[in-house]
A and B are shown apart, each in its own frame.
Chain A
Amino acid sequence: MKKYAGAILATLLTTTFAAADPVDDTLVLNEETTMVTRTAAPAHVSDALDEVMSGWLFRGTETRAMQADDFDNPGMIFVEQAQEVWETADGSEGKSCSSCHNDMDSMAGVKATYPKWNEAAGEVRTLQMQVNDCRTNRMGAEAWKYDSGTAINMEAALSSVSRGMPVNVAIDGPAQSTWEMGKELYYTRTGQLELSCANCHEDSYGMMIRADHLSQGQINGFPVYRLKNTKLNGAHSRFKGCVRDTRAETYSPGSPEFVALELYVASRGNGLSVEGPSIRN
């Protein structure tokens, strides 16, 4: 009897350990688009990682399956809502996004290059910043609050038309100083627990931290629909949660610090497919 119980315990332990590695699986979207969920690390992170991996590889079988088919992906409901907003006039100029940009499909490839340097504004802009620029300066409409429902739904819609394309953010030229600021933040050990992004997502990915299976903390899948709060969540909100979990004073979504961190983290995933909206627990 004792021996038998021991064997079961051993099996349980083995299963736990096996579950901790990224799965060996391929994400094929809607049975047609094969996504790159792991690839050689881009040159600027090759000193730290050999391979970069999508967070999709670290999630359970059912969560992964939900993301493979648009009919099962609850994030696509929010994409549809944004599609309507895209065509609805707003602001003093009586214009909608489609007045200037035609179909949402015209935005294919855009998400893969953001955050991106904007020459006229002299700053690195996230997609949400660019959308708000169109709203305030071209439509005479109010800016959307950072990572709020409407803003994140639009980001997901813009992402959805780039799915399968490789993330390709530029880190040199005028964007370099912002990128370096992001890198500095990534390696800074914050809060009373003195943990950096790298402690969890570079040194410990694949391991369990309590009940959580640590991924590389990539953002190619953002915005993500979380089963936990049943809505779309932005990368800055995720950063905020992670910083809070180090028992630190966080930065705010949309802050210069998180814009820089977004550029840096996005660049660590250069080469992975754009996946948003993806599904996470």
Chain B
Amino acid sequence: MKSFVISVAAVGCIATAAFAADIEPTAVSYEDGAVSQSLSGQPGDAANGRLIVGDKGQGNCVACHQVSDLADVPFQGEIGPMLDGAGDRWTEAELRGIVSNAKIMFEDSMMPAFYKTEGFIRPGNAYTGKAADDTFGPLLSAQQIEDVVAYLTTLKD
């Protein structure tokens, strides 16, 4: 767990230093739950997005969703719908909105908001059980969101 916290912190620093053009989590504008502009100002990398979706230490989307394309990732959860065909059902802007803050598209959704930093009750410092400190950031960086969105758009039936 420690190494995860450190790697996230490191990613955070690089993101702030290198991509000052990121739209801040507090400044994202949603239209009917969708976000039209790239959060990092850059296109996403679908191959990296694929890793993030399946990785326990990153998006861990498979905790709740099954993805046939990720058949190599064991133990996929059943809480949310299967993501197969998500790229047909949703536009890129809608997918960006869903991943950034799904609760705007789906009221009271169980899906966590991956690009949000405010409005939590008792936010913690990752999985330590301790209170959040000043390293607190969104679950995924702007570029990671873009990568995930790029991957989701490839999921066509």
Which single residue of chain B is at the shortest CB-CB distance from A189?
Answer: B121
List A contacts of B75 (CB < 8 A). Answer: 208, 210-211
List A contacts of B127 (CB < 8 A). Answer: 244-245, 247
Interface size class of A (residues with CB under 8 A): 20 to 34
> Within residues 113 to 157 of chain B, which ones have a CB less than 8 A from any CB in chain A?
113, 120-132, 139
Q: Which of B76, B121, B130 contacts A188 (CB 8 A)?
A: B121
Q: Which of A20, A194, A204, A244 contacts B112 (CB 8 A)?
A: A194
A203 touches B110 (CB 8 A): yes
Q: Which of A190, A194, A204, A246 contacts B79 (CB 8 A)?
A: A204
B110 touches A190 (CB 8 A): no
- B13-21, B39-47, B57-65: which lies at the A interface? B57-65
- Residue B81 CB within 8 A of the other chain: no
Kindly provide the distance from the CB of A196 to the nearest chain B CB, expressed in whole angstroms. 9
A191-235 contact mask (Cβ, 8 Å, vs B): 1 or 0:
111110001000110011111000000000000000000000000
A210 touches B60 (CB 8 A): yes
List B contacts of A103 (CB < 8 A). Answer: none
List B contacts of A210 (CB < 8 A). Answer: 56, 60, 62-63, 75-77
Tell me the interface secondary structure of chain A in the complex. Answer: loop
List B contacts of A190 (CB < 8 A). Answer: 120-122
- Residue B31 CB within 8 A of the other chain: no
Q: Please, how many angstroms separate the alpha-carbon atoms of A243 and B113 in the complex?
A: 17
> Within residues 73 to 108 of chain B, which ones have a CB less than 8 A from any CB in chain A?
74-79, 103
Partner-A contacts on B (CB < 8 A): 56, 60, 62-64, 74-79, 103, 110, 112-113, 120-132, 139
Given contacts A209-B63, A210-B62, A244-B129, 8 further A-B contacts (CB under 8 A): A188-B121, A190-B120, A194-B112, A195-B110, A203-B110, A207-B77, A210-B63, A247-B126
Ordered nearest first, which 5 A-B pairs have the shortest CB separation? A211-B75, A244-B129, A250-B129, A249-B131, A210-B63
